[in-house]
């Protein structure tokens, strides 16, 4: 990941609503969530939600697909893992054992990720 990409991702996440949206999408895993579900869960009007999703999309942190009439948003786990790798690249003077992130924590298919229904 390039420095400019990391800055873009961190800037997008440095806002309460966008961080909440991204965390919900991370919790959802590779399945993603429909826009309506995100709006209901966070109590956001559609225009506000659309604005924040656009910001996350421009930072390459989310992707979406169309299923019928619904837009399903998904966290971009490759970008998230790239950001984590960039931030911890030279961690602890070469001894990354003090700051290592569990690979399962960033794996959308892992059973150890946060379960839906927990607070954001």
pLDDT tens digits along 6-61: 999 999 999 999 999 999 999 999 999 999 999 999 999 999 999 999 999 999 99
Domain that holds residue 86: 3-90
User: Is 104 a domain residue?
Assistant: no
The kind and range of the H/E element at 92 are none
Q: Rounded to the nearest 5°, which phi and psi values hold at 96?
A: -75, 0
Model-level pTM greater than 0.85?
A: no
User: Is 69 a domain residue?
Assistant: yes
- Counted domains in the chain: 1
The C-alpha atoms of residue 5 and residue 101 are separated, in whole angstroms, by 20
User: Is 75 a domain residue?
Assistant: yes
Q: The domain that contains 77 carries what CATH number? A: 1.10.10.10
């Amino acid at each position: 990941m390039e420095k400019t990409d990391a800055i873009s991702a961190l800037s997008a996440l440095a806002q309460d609503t966008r961080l909440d949206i991204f965390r919900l999408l991370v919790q959802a895993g590779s399945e993603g969530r429909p826009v309506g579900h995100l709006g209901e869960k966070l109590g956001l009007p559609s225009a506000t939600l659309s604005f924040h999703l656009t910001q996350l999309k421009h930072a390459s942190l989310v992707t979406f697909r169309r299923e019928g009439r619904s837009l399903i948003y998904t966290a971009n786990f490759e970008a998230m893992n790239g950001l984590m790798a960039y931030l911890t690249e030279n961690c602890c003077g070469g001894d990354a054992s003090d700051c290592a992130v569990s690979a399962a924590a960033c794996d959308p298919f892992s059973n150890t990720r946060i379960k839906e229904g927990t607070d954001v």
